[in-house]
Amino acid sequence: MIFSRSKISDVIIIKPQIILDERGYFFECFKKQSLDEFIGGKINFVQENESFSSKGVLRGLHYQLDPFSQSKLVRVVQGSILDIAVDIRKSSPTYGEYISKELNDINKTQLFIPKGFAHGFIVLSESAIVSYKVDNYYDPNYESGVLWNDTDLNIDWKIKADEVILSEKDKNLSPLAKIINPF
């Protein structure tokens, strides 16, 4: 695996070394020791989630409040998404900035998103299966989020706004400037 830091250095881009032959392919999609060494700490993933979504589905921008805040390791099993991580740490020099990265089943690139970030993605292909590991358990009483089309963030989702498919919950999230910031 090849680890690199994104423009927000706490968000890590992970590219696998894919071995191809006449049978297909093989790659390591997670190696705890390598991730721990690169980030200079220990991550203990306790839950893995998977979602299936159709083109235009936007999930996010979500995060969990303490004591259930989560770091995530995100990858695409099938299809293509635009993955977004927004720095919501008020004390951070990159507060309000975001990372945008296409993840798909061809490049097999992953993102490690630490605690203190809101996360979301939009499906660019006809459908997508997204899998992500988290280092804390989900609790619906501690979930929160940032409005996907917050004009202060000005995220380019690579799709027309009238083609975006949102849950009712995600339609009613607040802009970043109005969230109660736990970080």
Q: Is 138 a catalytic residue?
A: no
Q: Which of 63, 98, 119, 132 is catalytic?
A: 132
Residue 100 forms beta bridges with which residues?
84
Q: How far apart are CA 112 and CA 142, in angstroms?
A: 21
Q: Which of 62, 63, 98, 119 is catalytic?
A: 62
Cβ atoms 115, 73 nearer than 8 A: no
| DSSP code, position 14 | E
| Beta carbons within 8 Å of 22's beta carbon, 6+ residues apart | none
Q: Is 62 a catalytic residue?
A: yes
Cβ atoms 67, 74 nearer than 8 A: no
Return the active site residues: 62, 132
